Amino acid sequence: MTSVHHNTVSSSATSPLRLGIAGLGTVGTGVIRLIRQHDGLLRNRTGRQIEVVAVSARNRTRDRGIDLSGLRWHDDPTALANDPDVDVVVELMGGAEGAARTLVTEALKAGKAVVTANKALVARHAQELAHLSHEHKAPLLFEAAVAGGIPAIKMVREGVAADALTRLGGILNGTSNFILTEMAETGRAFEDVLKEAQDKGYAEADPSADIDGWDAAHKLSILTAIAFRPIVFDSLAVSGMRRITTDDIHQARKLGYAIKMLGVARRLPEDRVEAWVQPCLIPARSGLAQVNGVYNALTTEGPFSGPITISGQGAGEGPTADAVMADVIDLARGHGLPLWGRVDEQAPIPCEPVGNLASRFYLRITLTNNVNAETTLGELRTILGNEDIAVEQGHHHTSQGGATQIILLTKPVTLNDIDRILPILEEMPIVQGTPLALKVEDLP
Ligand code: HSE
């Protein structure tokens, strides 16, 4: 374990703080707009001028709706790491590898402070970046990487720093929440809503990161590292929302639940950690069920701090630019924090396997034509019962496509139990397609 102290960038408390921004997409242009619009406010809050001196982006000529004249332009973003006029490198290109990784690595090696919105980079290269940041005494801040405009990092790293949290989690991806909300409220098709999320700048360059849970997983991994300890990213259990239909949303509602993409981590005994991202049924009256559209929410629970929930826009130009600037303000004020808010370097550990975790499950089983639904419902209860899966509630309905579907809510069973029964159900001649199983997460 190494004890570290961080340099700050307050070489002179009144000298301007000079930023070099890599990436001029939605967030990059938002940051420049915010700095220009809130020039006086930023000076007031920090006692210093905050100015952008250099930028780097792929396309020099694209009209971004902002004046870039007077700024030094680097075609190679890595040049920002070695630009003597740049105090802070602001990395807004995205991507866990390639140019973003090289720039952040080189900037830290050069002893420069780095602010990034790049959750994939921070989550996947946590150990290496933490080490570089410690070794070169260069702060690496990433408030904008988690839940857009919500001060999620600050809440966990600073707000409840004195508590030993037991659980954290919530809705950590705006695009998937926007899609689920629109599907629930308007019945619009998945692709149609996804297109709107892309147009609004919520979705990742490759929206499968949003839909398949990886974006939320990156954020959860970062929060888990701060709250509990670093985890091996690839050991996180992640499943996406592609198979959820408006029928599922309506059937869940009938049972008293909403469907949300959740990322949850729990502290387990002996320094173990449970962490997963998946679509879940949550009680319709719970606080998180009211978090809709592009909004994200993070809940923490600790023995001293109790339950805390914060909510706000998890994506988009304004909220994300504001989160980037919260880190820049910290640097301008001379605050430098170790990467995970602790001075010792901890090696990542694998997450607890999820197969043994018990919960109730929602099962949707589509039947082939001309099968008696009522009789089948009884038969399915027996088949599941024989596998030690007790059914709490069950009903059938006709889907929007005209198929008969059986909807079951099980009593608590393990994911291993569910994984064992799904192929058995799928092989039954009266069952059409692959049954869907969703975890029920009982939240207050
Ligand atoms: N694509 C992300 C989301 C952007 O939808 O939440 C913010 O990380």
CA-148 nearest atom, ligand 1: 7
Distance, CA of 411 to CA of 426 (rounded, Å):
21
Report angle CA 274, 437, 398 to the nearest 5 degrees: 155
Give residue 437's pLDDT: 98
pTM for this model (two decimals): 0.93
Tell me the CA–centroid distance for residue 14 and ligand 1, in Å.
Answer: 35
pLDDT band at 405 (very low <50, low <70, confident <90, very high): very high
For residue 132, count CB atoms less than 10 angstroms from its CB and return exposed for 0-12, middle for 13-18, buried for 19 or more.
buried
195 has catalytic annotation: no
**Domain positions in the chain:** 17-148+335-343, 152-312, 354-440
**Mean local confidence (pLDDT), 100-117:** 97
Label residue 13 by pLDDT band (50, 70, 90). low
Cα(122) to centroid(ligand 1), Å: 15
Cα 176 to ligand 1 centre (Å): 9
Q: Which of the residues 112, 219, 260, 439 is marked catalytic?
A: 219
Indicate if ligand 1 lies below 6 Å from the C-beta of 105. no
From the candidate CATH numbers 3.40.50.720, 3.30.360.10, 3.60.110.10, 3.90.920.10, the one assigned to the domain spanning 152-312? 3.30.360.10
Per-residue b or e along 220-239, where b marks 16 or more CB atoms closer than 10 Å to that residue's CB: bbbbbbbbbbbbebebbbbb
What is the Cα–Cα distance from 173 to 294, expressed in whole angstroms?
8
Establish whether residue 91 lines the binding site of ligand 1, counting it when its CB lies within 6 angstroms of any ligand atom. no
Please state, in angstroms and rounded to a whole number, the distance separating the CA atoms of residues 223 and 243.
27
Once rounded to an integer, what is the mean pLDDT over residues 12-24? Answer: 90
C-beta atoms surrounding 14 within 10 Å: 9
- The pLDDT of residue 2 is above 50: no
Tell me the binding residues for NADP(+).
Answer: 22-29
Q: Among 147-161, 343-357, 407-421, whose mean pLDDT is lowest? A: 343-357
241-281 pLDDT tens trace: 999 999 999 999 999 999 999 999 999 999 999 999 999 99
Whether residue 118 has its Cβ less than 6 Å from ligand 1? no
Give the Cα separation of 221 and 310 in Å (integer): 18
Ligand 1 atom at shortest distance from the alpha carbon of 146? 8
Average pLDDT over residues 349-376: 95
CA of 320 to the centre of ligand 1 (A): 9
Mean pLDDT, rounded, of the chain = 93
Output the known binding site. 22-29, 119, 204
pLDDT for res 7: 53
Which pLDDT tens digit goes with each residue over 192-213?
899 998 888 888 878 999 999 9
The residue whose CA has the least distance to atom 4 of ligand 1 is: 315
Q: Which atom of ligand 1 is nearest to the CA of 314?
A: 6
Distance (angstroms) between ligand 1 centre and the Cα of 443 equals: 23
CB-based burial label for 7 (10 Å; 0-12, 13-18, 19+): middle
pLDDT of amino acid 4: 41
pLDDT-derived band at 3 (thresholds 50, 70, 90) equals very low
- Cα 25 to middle of ligand 1, angstroms: 14
Q: With bands split at pLDDT 50, 70 and 90, how would you rate the model's confidence at 346?
A: confident
Pocket of ligand 1 contains residue 210 by CB under 6 Å: yes
Architecture of domain 354-440: 2-Layer Sandwich (3.30)
Maximum Cα–Cα distance for the chain, whole Å? 79
Q: For the chain, give the secondary structure using H, E and C.
A: CCCCCCCCCCCCCCCCEEEEEECCCHHHHHHHHHHHHCHHHHHHHHCCCEEEEEEECCCCCCCCCCCCCCCEECCCHHHHHHCCCCCEEEECCCCCCHHHHHHHHHHHHCCCEEEECCHHHHHHCHHHHHHHHHHCCCCEECHHHCCCCCCHHHHHHHHCCCCCCCEEEEECCHHHHHHHHHHHHHCCCHHHHHHHHHHCCCCCCCCHHHHCCHHHHHHHHHHHHHHCCCECHHHCEECCCCCCCHHHHHHHHHCCEEEEEEEEEEEEHHHEEEEEEEEEEEECCCHHHHCCCCEEEEEEEECCCEEEEEEEECCCHHHHHHHHHHHHHHHHCCCCCCCCCCCCCCCCECCCCHHHCEEEEEEEEEECCCCCHHHHHHHHHHHHHHCCCCEEEEEEEECCCCCEEEEEEECCEEHHHHHHHHHHHHCCCCEEEEEEEEEECCCC
73, pLDDT greater than 90: yes
Pocket test for ligand 1, best of 146, 194, 202, 223 (most atoms within 8 A of CB): 202
Would the CB of 203 count as within 6 Å of ligand 1? yes
Say yes or no: CB of residue 213 within 6 Å of ligand 1.
no
Dist CA 193 CA 198 (whole Å): 9
Q: Single out the residue of 81, 68, 76, 73 nearest to residue 32, CA to CA.
A: 68
What is the CATH number assigned to the segment(s) 17-148+335-343? 3.40.50.720
Q: Residue 231: pLDDT band by 50, 70, 90 thresholds?
A: very high
- Please state the atom number of ligand 1 nearest to the C-alpha of residue 203: 1
pLDDT at 60: 87
CB distance 314 to ligand 1 below 6 Å: yes
